[in-house]
Amino acid sequence: MNNLLWKIRFLIRSILLKFARKLKVRYYKGPVVRYPKNLFLKEIKIPVIVSLTFTIIVIFCMFVIGIGISYKTMIAAIIITSSMVFFIIQTKGIEKAILRDSDAVVLMCLLFIIAMFVFQISKEYISPFVSPASAFTLMSAMLLSLKIGMIYAFFLSLFVAFLNDMRFDIFLVMLCSSILVMKNVQNVRRRADFINIGFKTVVASISITSIFYFFDKYDISQFRYNSFYGMLNGAFTIILLLVFVPLFEKLFSRTTNIKLIELSDFNSPLLKRLMLEAPGTYHHSIMTADIAEQAANVVNVNSLLARVGAYYHDIGKLNKPQYFIENQVSNYNPHDRLSPTMSRLILISHVKDGVTLSRRYNIDKEITNIIEQHHGTTSIHAFYHRALEESPDTTDIENFRYPGPKPTTIESAIVMIADSSEAACRSIEEPTALRIKDVVERIINNKFVDGQFSDCPITLRDLQVIRDSVISTLIGIYHARIEYKDRK
């Protein structure tokens, strides 16, 4: 009986394996996705082409409903299709990562469809001026990217004007209010900032309405009504942003500055654990964050992301904190009793453990990517040289490399540089400005020669500026410490 059961199990297993091979199921090597056990947080995998086709069909249906089936609808349909194609080409050129991310494409299409629906409803029941286009533009800029937000503002204003008998005033109000609030995107760090955005929408709306009134395009009652609707627009903008930004952040795993500020709270469970269980790593992470933030500022990338990414980059060390030098308080080093191969495995595992912890605590994708990429495919020199001394014939440097991937964003590359520089400068006995400069230059040169920056859009000029910033931050830190020591 047992034998029969075993045979059935074996048969089912082999059928399933064959089926899996046919489907070409492989280990997923793409960007980090969310923790798959939570159904609510599962990544939405809808092919890009399906999302885009669906969006075009929905917009076309809206045109048919709004304008009716006529030559106008046909012209509108041609314009929609060609502009969407143009949009995709533009997006592909400027934001490759977004089009590779099915979550982001679904969000992009959804924002467009909801904006069109909201416009139709407000046009039908109140006035087209009430439609909060700036809220949707801002959401696309915050949740996707600034460039997408700009393109989005233009097309949304164009489509809305089309749906409203090609009215230039509506186009101008929508476009101006959207562009005016776009400047705020980088500065939105608290939910209260949405009030400022709502206020700016009102100002843009009333200003454009006034211009049309002064040029006799509106009479006084039109001016009053449109100004009033502009104020309502501002109020709707605030409400929509307050409701939808956190919802889309969660549903589509997008990282906004607001989310980053929340993650940087030292009372968050992971940072608290790091502080209590691995104080050395915690201190190293804070120093790395300072260095990374300054460097990100000088190359105009997201400094908040670099800072928070640095806070979390070594959370994988929580599993075995005593095996990492910064947490060793006495002269006892557990690696002295281990073979170099074993030590290598422990050190390398902190990257994988970090990714696992990050997913378990639902830390955002962008932070998880930084954790996964902060060592790239660099090698662990200390243990490689020890292994080389013990068995020179069988030791291969490739076995002493971190599994990667290499940094894919400038923020990741900055965290990588800041991490290595901070750790290296910590081990300098008397850190003078010249020594710090030498160490940082050597670290960046070695990583560059090793090809660690080959997967991210960083230029040589960026690397030079980052190097100077890292050096000056480190000199600032160590100079202050030496002065303090001297005074004591």
The contact set with Fe ion (CB under 5 A) reads 314, 419
- Give dist(CA 34, CA 395) in Å, integer: 37
Q: Which is nearer to Fe ion, 167 or 283 (CB)?
A: 283
Q: Which is nearer to Fe ion, 103 or 314 (CB)?
A: 314
Q: Which is nearer to Fe ion, 364 or 419 (CB)?
A: 419
- Give dist(CA 219, CA 212) in Å, integer: 9
- Give dist(CA 138, CA 145) in Å, integer: 10
Cβ-proximal residues to 249 (8 Å cutoff; 6+ apart), any chain: 143, 255, 256, 258, 259
Q: Which is nearer to Fe ion, 385 or 426 (CB)?
A: 426
CB atoms closer than 10 angstroms to residue 2: 6
Taking the complex as a whole, how short is the minimal distance between the CB of residue 410 and Fe ion, in angstroms?
18
Query: DSSP of 171-224, one letter per residue?
Result: HHHHHHHHHHHHTTGGG--STTHHHHHHHHHHHHHHHHHHHHHHTTSS-HHHHH
Q: Token pair 């440097």 is at which residue?
A: 397
Q: Is the peptide bond before 334 cis (omega within 30 degrees of 0)?
A: no
Q: Which is nearer to Fe ion, 193 or 277 (CB)?
A: 277
Taking the complex as a whole, how short is the minimal distance between the CB of residue 373 and Fe ion, in angstroms?
11
Q: Which two tokens stand for residue 280?
A: 């050395």
Amino acid at 261: I
Query: Residue 379 in 3-state DSSP?
Result: strand
Taking the complex as a whole, how short is the minimal distance between the CB of residue 312 and Fe ion, in angstroms?
10
Taking the complex as a whole, how short is the minimal distance between the CB of residue 422 and Fe ion, in angstroms?
7
Q: Which is nearer to Fe ion, 253 or 327 (CB)?
A: 327
Is the alpha carbon torsion for 146, 152, 154, 160 positive or negative? negative
> What are the Cα distances from residue 81, in Å, to 52, 55, 75, 105, 115?
10, 10, 10, 17, 18
Taking the complex as a whole, how short is the minimal distance between the CB of residue 419 and Fe ion, in angstroms?
4
CB of 211 closer than 8 Å to CB of 187: no
Taking the complex as a whole, how short is the minimal distance between the CB of residue 353 and Fe ion, in angstroms?
10
Q: Which is nearer to Fe ion, 249 or 314 (CB)?
A: 314
Amino acid at 47: P
Q: Which two tokens stand for residue 350?
A: 């902190």
Burial tier of 427 (Cβ tally within 10 Å: 0-12, 13-18, 19+): exposed
Taking the complex as a whole, how short is the minimal distance between the CB of residue 415 and Fe ion, in angstroms?
9
Taking the complex as a whole, how short is the minimal distance between the CB of residue 447 and Fe ion, in angstroms?
14
Taking the complex as a whole, how short is the minimal distance between the CB of residue 123 and Fe ion, in angstroms?
54
Taking the complex as a whole, how short is the minimal distance between the CB of residue 90 and Fe ion, in angstroms?
37
Taking the complex as a whole, how short is the minimal distance between the CB of residue 403 and Fe ion, in angstroms?
13
Q: Which is nearer to Fe ion, 314 or 353 (CB)?
A: 314
Q: Which is nearer to Fe ion, 195 or 424 (CB)?
A: 424
CB of 133 closer than 8 Å to CB of 177: yes
Q: Which is nearer to Fe ion, 47 or 334 (CB)?
A: 334
Q: Which two tokens stand for residue 355?
A: 């990714």
Taking the complex as a whole, how short is the minimal distance between the CB of residue 427 and Fe ion, in angstroms?
13
Burial tier of 43 (Cβ tally within 10 Å: 0-12, 13-18, 19+): middle
CB of 123 closer than 8 Å to CB of 164: yes
> Quick one: DSSP state of residue 456?
S
- The full length of the chain comes to 488
Q: Which is nearer to Fe ion, 366 or 419 (CB)?
A: 419
Q: Which is nearer to Fe ion, 354 or 431 (CB)?
A: 354
- Give dist(CA 311, CA 145) in Å, integer: 23
CB atoms closer than 10 angstroms to residue 168: 10
CB atoms closer than 10 angstroms to residue 306: 29
